[in-house]
Structures are given as structure tokens and as C-alpha cells.
Structure 1
Amino acid sequence: MTEQVEQLEFQAEARQLLDLMIHSVYSNKDSFLRELISNASDALDKLRLEAFRNKDLDVDTSDLHIEIDIDKAARTLTIRDNGIGMTRDEVVGLIGTLAKSGTAELRQQLREAQNAAASEELIGQFGIGFYSSFMVADKVTLLTRKAGESSATRWESSGEGTYTVAAVDDAPQGTSVTLHLKPEDAEDELHDYTAEWKIRALVKQYSDFIGWPIRMQVERRSPATEDGGDEVVTVETETVNSMKALWARPKDEVSQEEYTEFYKHIAHAWDDPLEVIPMKAEGTFEYQALLFIPSHAPFDLFNQDARIGVQLYVRRVFIMADCEELLPPYLRFVKGVVDAADMSLNVSREILQQDRQIKAIRRRLTKRVLSTIKEMQSERPADYRTFWGQFGRVLKEGLLSDADNKDTLLAVSSFASTNSDEETTTLAEYVERMKEGQEQIFYATGESRQQLLSSPHLEAFKAKGYEVLLLTDPVDEVWVDMVPEFDGKRLQSVAKGEVDLGSEEDTSEAERSQLEQEFAGLLEWLQETLSDHVKEVRLSTRLTESPACLITDGFGITPALARMLQASGQTVPAEKRILELNPNHPLIVGLREGFGSRGGDDALAETAELLYGTALLAEGGTLDEPAKFAHLLAERLARTI
């Protein structure tokens, strides 16, 4: 049958990405082999699992392995496996295009990367290991046949914007990737990928722990004999990796380099792990685990389809790549392996959700990860700051869902505050610095530190020396309502309810009562005039510089939280807020005097509208009718000229 070859174009973003990779200089080109071997290992894992699930699948799993073939004359390097293989559609979907969100962001970051190491980290974060082949090859040929199917597919590209796909009649099950290596550089012997010693060294460095045999034909030379016989060269097939499960070896027998390379293998990452967590449990539930806390957040950390990243094995047999049941979603950045001693090999996700052993393992893994973070916080503060900068935002999600570990999560969390421009603080440290007689932990939520520091809500707190936590992550809007107190101290928003910052220097009760009487008429009129916007108008104790601010009821929903709920599709009833006035501000004093002399005329009504609008804008809110506000402001300014 005549072979039908179809030429296709790369997806636009993938084409630009390929161009960046091919024409960039990487300090560690060797990493391409790790990526291709990892892909082959994944294919073998998937075939083993599919054979357990589908007893009718006609495949031979008795000798699953990876082969590396070197052809010096042709300058090709082939990585071959007899794993699950791919269909034509899978080839086009997984390799011909780059169907991942964040590609445009990656391209921009690659352009801006200042050095090769930074570029490599970005490549790793976006999980595009196959494309690393083009760092060392002028052309890449992929031949693959899906397990259980008769037809095969050949994919080929030189990485210049197009690729070809052809149906092939006769091909072994699995996948082979052949790299047509770039011309030899006589001055760069360290990157000669046709040298047996080089490939052997790379396998030992990066993939020694792979659970499948990696085989390669190696030359054996017998020295010339004393009677003048020639040197004898024989070729043998040799397994060049140890296949030792790293998580099953004693910790003192594993080097940090081995842990690092294993992490990079299972996480498809380029960064070094920030923390290694080996575990072994014996007794009712026996299992071994090897977990890693990365040093860099993956690009999809906050995507809805972000994967957990912990693999499940049973007695060294791969079961599941991303086992969501092993860790809670707020620990989805953790990578690693869990190897259980006793569990059904054909276990499904539905069974896992009900499995008592899995639930017990999940509890133990969660507590161990959190205790490790706590140790890092106290013993290695620099690493903790790195961790919190990368993963603090996602860890705080646990405060919403994990009541059992709430206290630990609060203890390991840290927050920006008005106490320092650079250092974050724990809640325990905040409590230690509290003023005498202070019974509440004050906090402010908003989009940025700068916005919060300029908010009128903080004026009296700053003036009187009260520390305020500055919470700027979206999750902060939610968890603060679910954590009522810490160490017996109630959490209090500076923008919700009433606050008492009284001191000896403050207005006396008699003077306060006098102010209330003087402003009673104005407050009543303003509440009626602004009834479409506010539920109450009252005098403020939290303002020192601004004329007014808007406050949410103690049990109300903040505007930011309301916007978040609406964005998620929830219906949020409209809720009016409280307008607080600064009785010492010239504008409010003048407003009171004007109202006392002529009542609430049209000019004062316009001033009331402008007062409300400026209070809303000062906290970063959005006006309902910005055009109307701009018109009123322009007219008022015109009358002052």
C-alpha cells in the first residue's frame, strides 16, 4: 500500500516556542535524554496499568523495557519503548500542537530570561520535555503504534514550522524517537551523543532509578594476545540502570543528587527540590513514600485542572499518575511517590475515594508535609521565605477546607503587615507585639499593599500605632471569615463593624455625646439623601485624615468577596454599607454648618453624592454611575474658578 504522508503546520504558539528553543543556548543540553526516558517510562507504566484494567487487551507485558540505540555512522540516537504507544490523533494532539494554557506567557518569559539557567527553569515549568529534542537534533522522527491496534503512525519534523504525519503498516508496539543529531563539534566532546560513555553517564546521572530496564548495546574489547592475535571486539546488550526504587532505599544510602534527579524525573521539572520528605509506615497500613516540596511553583498551580502530582504504586507496580486522593487540593504543589503494600492492583478512582487505607495515608502524608513546613519555618527561615513566596497563597486554601489541621496551617502561615515593609509576620509574632489592652488582631484585605496603606480605613490604626495585617490574596477574603480567632484573640477587619481604639487622649464620653447631638440632623439627612447607596450614616472613630469611608457590617459581605462569588456564578444579594464621617475634617465641618444654616438644598445634595463617590473610590471601589459623578465634579470645580 502506498504510504500517505500529510504535512501539517504547528500551532502558532508551538511554532514560536520551537523557534525560541532551537535558537537559544542552554547550559545543560544533556537534559533532553532525561525527558525522553521519562516519557518512555510513563508509556510503560500506562501499558502495565491498562493490562490490569483490560483483560482483553492483546499485549505482551513480560518484557517491558526501554532501549537506547546509537548509530555513529548516521549520527542518530534512538530512544525506544514497548509501552502503550499512541494513535495518530494522540500524536497530533500531544506533539504536533501544544495544547496547554500559559504558552504565550512562557514565550514572553523566555524572551525576558537573563540567562540560560533561567530559561531552563521556565521550560521545565511548562512541561514540554519532548521539544527539548530540538536542542540537539536537526530532525526528529517518531514512530508509534498504540497497544492493541494494528496501524502505526510516523511523525517527523525539523522544527521549522511544519511536521509530517504518515500511516505505517508495519511497526512494533510502543514508541521510538530518533534524533538526527546536529553536526559534530570537534571542540565539544562533552556533548557527543554518539559516544557510548556519554549516554551511559547520562543514564546513570538522570535515570538510574527508573523502574524499567534501560538497555543499550555496548562494545566489549578483548586485548590482543601475546602471540600476536588481534584485539577482539564484541557487542553485548546491557542494562545500564540499577532500577532500584529510590523510595525503598534507606535515606543514608541515597545522595542528595539522586533525590534531585528523581524529583526532576517524576515532576518533569528543572528546578531543585526545596525539601525532600522520605516516609515509611509499618503496622496496620504499610507504605513507603518519597515526597518533594518544589522550589518553584508550576505555571498551572491555580488552574482548575491542575494535577496533584503524587504517583500511586502498589508493591512497586504503577497504579495512578496523579492520585488526587493522596493529598488535599491545597497541597497540590507537592510531588512524589507513594508505594502501598496491600491494595487492589486494578483499583479505580471511585474505589480509592472510599478506601480506608487511602484515607489513613492521606491524613499521615498531610500532617507530615505540614510538620516539615513548620520545621523549615523555625530552622531554615530563608528556605521558608522561598516556600511561602511560591506556595503561601495556595496553602491558605487549607484554612477553608481542612478543619483538622487548621491550627497547624495558621501556625505555618505568614502575612504582610504594617510592622515591616519587607518581612512577613506569623500570627504568633503579631500577638507578641500587640499593644497593652489590645484584644483583637486587626487586618485589612485588598488588591495590593500600596492600595491598603493608602486606604482611609487604616488612618486611625496607623496614627495610634496599631499593627494591621495586609492581606492581598483573593483567598484572604474568604478564610478570615472562617477563622474567628487565634490564641484567644479575635480577628477584626479594619473595614467591618465598629472598632474601639480609645485611649486617654481621645474624645471623652461627654464630648462624644455632644458631637452626636451636633451632627444628628446632618446624619439623618445624609442617610435619607443617600438611601439608594447606604444603610446608615454615622460618625467615625477610625478616620484621621479623610472626610469619609465606607464600612461593611460586622457580619456582612465585603465588596471584594461579593465580586469573587459573582465571578464564580453565585448569586449575591445587593448589600448596602455604612458611611462613616470624620467629624474633624473641614469638609464635614463645612457640610454640617451649611446644613444648619440653609438645610439640605440641591448644592448640599450634590456634595453628598460627591462625598459618597470619593469614599468609594478611596477604597478602590467602582462607581455605579461614573459619568454622573464626573459631571457633578466638573460642575463643582467650575464654580470654584
Structure 2
Amino acid sequence: MSGKVETYEFQAESRQLLQLVVHSIYSNKDIFLRELISNASDALDKLRLESLRDGELKADTSDLHIALEPDEEARTLTVRDNGIGMSREEVVALIGTIAKSGTAEFARKLKEANENRDGAASADLIGSFGVGFYSSFMVADRVTLVTRRAGEEAGTRWESAGEGTYDLQTVDDAPQGTSVTLHLKEVDTEDHLYDYTKPDALRAIVRQHSDFIPWPVRLPVEKTGEDGEVESTVETVNSMKALWSRSPEEITAEEYGEFYRHVSHDWSDPLETIHTRAEGTFEYQALLFIPSRAPLDLFHQDARRGVNLYVKRVFIMDDCKTLLPDYLRFVKGVVDAQDLSLNVSREALQQDRQIQLMHRRLVKKVLSTVKALRGKDPEKYRTFWQEFGRAVKEGLLSDFDNRETLLEACSFPSTEDPKEETGLRAYKERMKEGQEHIYYLTGPSRARLESSPHIEAFREKGYEVLLLTDPVDEVWVEQVTEYDGTPLQSIAKGQVDLESSEDDEESEEETARRTEEFGPLLAWLGDSLGEDIKEVRLSSRLTTSPACIVGDAGDVTPTLEKMYRAMGQELPHVKRILELNPEHALVVALREAHTKDSEDPGLTETAELLHGMALLAEGGELSDPARFSRLLAGRLAAGL
């Protein structure tokens, strides 16, 4: 006996997304079968694990498999598994609604791809958001799902035509597991589609896309016997060989690609494949992939991350975060350990010595692969860094053991080349004779940094400066003080000495003369601006600007100060230093005016304007913009 049918509407955002999926253009519609088989395989994995952990679970695990059931007359295809199944609540959460984090962004990008008639881009987006189940509507007018969770009595029937609503019904006679029945559209010969009711077509798709699935994929077929009679039988159409257990020499790039798509639900090819094994006292096999593009939820807190953990080919969990650090959260794949307990929990994993050993080895393997890419395949490395560089740099804050390797793997924009980023090794090779520091400047954009007053003398003297514009750069440079024995120095902090050794004696004499000449002005400015600055001094880093604001060597930057406050961490306001360019006409005129009449009230306004201009030049904020505007307007009017 079954319950009454209830009809629900998709959420507005979900309905829009579903329509985009249904009516999108794809380069390969056969992919829907891979997605359904992959989901079925996950359900079987989870049932076997649950049965191992819960001895009282009422579930049949004697013949776990996936069945393909085509019906040519009814024009349907059913993909059935006897896995973990779903409760009614899970059906609503996982199937009845699509809205997850990033759904609106996904819908926008998918719509753009469709308007541009870019089928490959559409498919990539579908995979990256993990809504592969809805690819069924590419080939079906209507989809019916019947499921019963292992251990429960009643099942659930879900059905939708992909037009904005879905039906739910409680059913009492549902078998354990899940069946998805596709009511197929007519075959479009112009689109070169298979007829998905034909066993030969289904066999070909499974062998191309799902051959490595560890569970038997069964297909009913008819064979002619020796006596000429047609016999019905069931054929297992996949090899079921765990790809990670095979020798890399035996595996083709296409097989690696299909397995990557299975574990990642990404429809594009991986950028790099890492196939490794450890033997000896502790054995494991790992097949890891670096994607070719970052998922749109890479920086979302609630995004799923981690690789699949197996023990002796038994699935344990699909998002094992313990095996790789968070800054490598984009890595996908499988790790199969030989000596862990099948009942190991997420909490126990964090304390397990073998897991910690695997973690260290896998991190080193991934980082060495990335580091090698720079020399082996620069174009592939550039793609990697463009997609994942921001995430990788997070490791400079947390992974002290691998910090040097991380620094070797990193790239940064610099003044050397406006188009190409540079590694620190290459920077050191280009350092000028006598240069003792790796110079850098942090800020919101390259354009802002290139026009900063702080960079003027470095550009004039030919010193290369790293231009660090990612928010994470503000943080890691506070903790990483050197690379390969060479100190890192911000050109917006501390004292800067760019004079060569040959000019040292002349420079010292010139500094002494200018200090005596400008001493009274510097002291007066320090008193006048004392609420806003901690010191006024002459600058050696300016060539065309009259003044700039710098910090002491140990001070946090204004940007980092704002970041801490945005996170709710209040910091005491850090006063900074005003540096003057003794060669600039404005500074020279101010010194002369101060020498003539240090009580002139106009000098105080000039000091405020000078300080305000220095703040604005570095992208800072004025404490009183209205007053600055009035003073500037008055000076401009007086000059006309």
C-alpha cells in the first residue's frame, strides 16, 4: 500500500537552474549514464561500510551490484542499485532541491555558456557543481526515482519532468536501494545519439566511462545458443579493476581521465595525475589528481573537500580531510591503505600514526609534483598557479615543515615582467650585485602598486620588486622572513638604503648635511602632526613624489589592520612614519617658508595637505576628507 502523491515546487533559483540544465547544449549526452552509475557505486560503498560498522543493520549485502534495465518497447532505461538508499528527508534534501552554496553563480555562468553555444563549458560547470543527476533530463522527458534506505520499512517515490515541480509519494513495496527510471526522448539522429535502450550502446558507454567501477554493472542480453535458440542472460559489462592498484604503465590517459571524472564529478580532464604507492612496514596506494580549473566553491567554508579513503579496497569515507591539508583541498582522488581498521572513525583518523605518516608523504608528493611542473611544463604550471595559487599560499601560514618547498613552488608578479610571474629562485638569480634583500610591496592591485611612491627609487635604480596583491599575501609575509637565506623586506616599511658601497662615504656626508638643513622642519612637522604620525624623516625611496607614509619594520600594514578588525579582532591603531623627499620643490619651499616664519598659520595647513596627499597616494583613507577638500580648494583658489 502506498501513500498519496504530493506535488512540490522547486525553489525559484533551483527551478531556473534546472531549466538551464534540461535545455543546455552538451558535447556528449552519454555522460548521464556515467553520473548515474557513479551515484549508484557511491551508494553501494556506503552500504558496505555501514554494515561493517553496524552489525544490527537490517540490510542484504550478499550480492551488491548495479543493474541496467533497458525497455525498448516502453522506451525507458532504469539504473538500479541495492545500496544504502535514501530516506524521504534525504530525497528532499539531495534530489528535490538543487539550491546549494554558489547556485546563483552557477546558474549565471551556465546561462553565459549556453548563450555562447559553448557546450563543453556547460558540461564542465555541471560537473563542478555536483548536480550530475540532473544530466538525466538531457535524454529523458521524465525521471522516476524509487528508493528505500537500508534498515527502514517504507520507501519514497520521486518523479519530475524537469518543468519546475516534482511529485513525492511514500511506497511500501520498494526494494532496498535506489532505482532511477528515465523515460527517454526520441533518438535524435542528427545529434548522433545512441539509442539508450540498446544493450550494445549501453555496453559501449559503460566500458568507455565506468569500466573501473568496483561493483559489477549488469546488463540483460540475449544470446543465440548452439541450437539456434535465443537465450536471455545477464552480462557483467565492466572489468571492476581498481585503477589505483594497477601499474601506471598499464593505464591509458583516457582511463585516468574517466576515473578522475568519477571521483571528482568534474567533466573536464585533470591537469596532472599523481599515481604513487608506498611499500614496506606501512603500505598504501594513492591515485591523486590536480584539476584543470578551480571549482567555484574553492573558498567557500561549507564546500566538500578531501580525497576518498579506502582500506584494502573497502570504501571508508569520501571526504577524508585528514589525508591532505586544507590548502591542498582542490586535490581529488583515492588513497587505499592496507593496515587501517575498517571501523576507523573521523575522530580517530586525526590521532592515527599511520594516517599522519601518509599525510606527510602525500603532501610532499603533491608539492614536488607542482614544483617539477615549473620546469617540465611551464604552460601547465601557469594554469595551475592561476587556478590554485591563492589556496596554495595559505600553506605558508600553516605548513612549517614544507615552507621551503612551498616557496619554491610559488610564483609572484613583479616589476621585472608585466605579463609573467616569477619564482623566488629566478628573482635571486637576477638580484643586483650587493643587493641583500628580496624586495616586495603589498596592496590591492598591480596598478596601484606600480604607481605607489614607495617604488620610485627602486624603479629608478633598477631593483626588482615583487608586487603582492592577494589578501593572503598581507598575512604570510608577516611570518616568512627569508627565502634560501635571503631576507624578505617590504619597501613600505623600515629604512631603505639603495646606495652602492662606492657611494657610501658621499652618501653619509650628504645625509648629515640634509639632516642639519631639514632638522627644524622635521621637528616642527613631528609636533604639528603628532596625533597622526609617530615620526617625520627624510626619505631615500622617493624620486618624484613629495612625501610617503611608511611603517616601522615590525608594524602591521593598514590593510592587515583592517582585515583583523573585519574578523572582530580589535588592534590598537598603529601610527606610521611620514617621509619627505628633500629634492621635491614642495618640500624645499616648505622648508624655506618655515625658516622665514615658523609661526605662519598657513604652514600648518600645508603640513596637513602634505600628509593627506601621502595617505591618498598609497590608497589610504583620510580621517577628515571634508576638511582636506576645503583646505585644497582654498589653496587652489589662492593660486589662481
| TM-score normalised according to structure 2 size | 0.96
Return 163-172 or 315-324, whichever deviates more: 163-172
- Equivalent residue for 2:243? 246
| Mapped contact 1:139–1:156 kept (Cα < 8 A) | yes
| Mapped contact 2:67–2:79 kept (Cα < 8 A) | yes
| Mapped contact 1:376–1:384 kept (Cα < 8 A) | yes
- Equivalent residue for 1:291? 288
Deviations 1:134-157 (A, max 9, x none): 111111111111121112111111
- Equivalent residue for 2:75? 75
Distance 1:482 1:232, change over 3 A: same
Residues 1:200 and 2:209 are matched in the alignment: no
- Equivalent residue for 1:272? 269
- Equivalent residue for 1:15? 15
Give the CA deviation at 1:600: 4.8
| Mapped contact 2:316–2:342 kept (Cα < 8 A) | yes
**Local SS of the residue matching 1:236:** strand
Give the CA deviation at 1:502: 1.2
| Mapped contact 1:29–1:136 kept (Cα < 8 A) | yes
**Local SS of the residue matching 1:579:** strand
Distance 1:239 1:393, change over 3 A: same
Residues 1:347 and 2:344 are matched in the alignment: yes
The structure 1 residue matched to 2:468, chosen from 468, 471, 475, is 471
Gaps of 5+ in 1: 226-230
- Equivalent residue for 2:481? 484
In 2: Cα distance, 1:427 partner to 1:202 partner:
47
| Mapped contact 1:213–1:243 kept (Cα < 8 A) | yes
Specify the code of the residue in structure 2 equivalent to 1:212.
W
What percentage of aligned pairs have identical amino acids?
Answer: 64
- Equivalent residue for 1:220? 223
The structure 2 residue matched to 1:327, chosen from 296, 301, 324, is 324
In 1: Cα distance, 2:599 partner to 2:153 partner:
87
- Equivalent residue for 1:87? 87
- Equivalent residue for 2:371? 374
Specify the code of the residue in structure 1 equivalent to 2:47.
L
Pairing of 1:172-571 with structure 2 (within 5 A): 172-188=175-191, 190-222=193-225, 232-503=229-500, 508-571=507-570
Specify the code of the residue in structure 2 equivalent to 1:476.
D
| Mapped contact 2:291–2:331 kept (Cα < 8 A) | yes
Give the CA deviation at 1:389: 1.1
| Mapped contact 1:308–1:327 kept (Cα < 8 A) | no
In 1: Cα distance, 2:582 partner to 2:78 partner:
80
- Equivalent residue for 2:619? 620
Distance 1:169 1:464, change over 3 A: same
Deviations 1:415-441 (A, max 9, x none): 111000111111111111111110010
Give the CA deviation at 1:187: 4.2
**Local SS of the residue matching 2:357:** helix
| Mapped contact 2:493–2:550 kept (Cα < 8 A) | yes
In 1: Cα distance, 2:267 partner to 2:234 partner:
31
Give the CA deviation at 1:186: 4.2
| Mapped contact 1:11–1:96 kept (Cα < 8 A) | no
Give the CA deviation at 1:595: 2.2
Give the CA deviation at 1:386: 1.1
| Mapped contact 1:525–1:600 kept (Cα < 8 A) | no
Specify the code of the residue in structure 2 equivalent to 1:370.
L
Specify the code of the residue in structure 2 equivalent to 1:101.
S
In 2: Cα distance, 1:188 partner to 1:492 partner:
60
- Equivalent residue for 1:42? 42
Give the CA deviation at 1:608: 2.1
| Mapped contact 1:307–1:324 kept (Cα < 8 A) | no
Give the CA deviation at 1:510: 2.4
**Local SS of the residue matching 1:604:** helix
In 1: Cα distance, 2:583 partner to 2:255 partner:
67
Distance 1:162 1:604, change over 3 A: farther
Specify the code of the residue in structure 1 equivalent to 2:517.
E
Q: How many residues align?
A: 635
Give the CA deviation at 1:628: 3.1
Distance 1:38 1:625, change over 3 A: farther
Give the CA deviation at 1:455: 0.9
Give the CA deviation at 1:491: 0.4
| Mapped contact 2:549–2:614 kept (Cα < 8 A) | yes
Distance 1:189 1:396, change over 3 A: closer
| Mapped contact 2:306–2:324 kept (Cα < 8 A) | no
Give the CA deviation at 1:473: 1.3
Residues 1:111 and 2:108 are matched in the alignment: no
What's the RMSD between the two structures over aligned residues?
1.8
Specify the code of the residue in structure 2 equivalent to 1:74.
A
- Equivalent residue for 1:228? none
In 1: Cα distance, 2:384 partner to 2:189 partner:
43
- Equivalent residue for 2:63? 63
Residues 1:27 and 2:52 are matched in the alignment: no
Write out the 4+ residue segments of structure 1 that deviate beyond 6 Å after TM superposition. Answer: none
In 2: Cα distance, 1:57 partner to 1:521 partner:
86
| Mapped contact 2:66–2:215 kept (Cα < 8 A) | yes
Specify the code of the residue in structure 1 equivalent to 2:79.
I
Specify the code of the residue in structure 1 equivalent to 2:58.
D
Pairing of 1:120-135 with structure 2 (within 5 A): 120-135=123-138
| TM-score normalised according to structure 1 size | 0.96
Return 189-198 or 14-23, whichever deviates more: 189-198
Return 510-519 or 120-129, whichever deviates more: 510-519
- Equivalent residue for 1:152? 155
In 1: Cα distance, 2:125 partner to 2:93 partner:
22
Specify the code of the residue in structure 1 equivalent to 2:78.
T
Return 449-458 or 159-168, whichever deviates more: 159-168
**Local SS of the residue matching 2:541:** coil
In 1: Cα distance, 2:530 partner to 2:423 partner:
41
Give the CA deviation at 1:12: 1.9
**Local SS of the residue matching 1:192:** coil
**Local SS of the residue matching 2:319:** coil
Return 299-308 or 428-437, whichever deviates more: 299-308
Specify the code of the residue in structure 2 equivalent to 1:576.
K
| Mapped contact 1:93–1:99 kept (Cα < 8 A) | no
Specify the code of the residue in structure 1 equivalent to 2:421.
T
Return 231-240 or 138-147, whichever deviates more: 231-240
Gaps of 5+ in 2: none
**Local SS of the residue matching 2:74:** coil
Give the CA deviation at 1:110: 2.0
**Local SS of the residue matching 2:27:** coil
In 2: Cα distance, 1:443 partner to 1:34 partner:
49
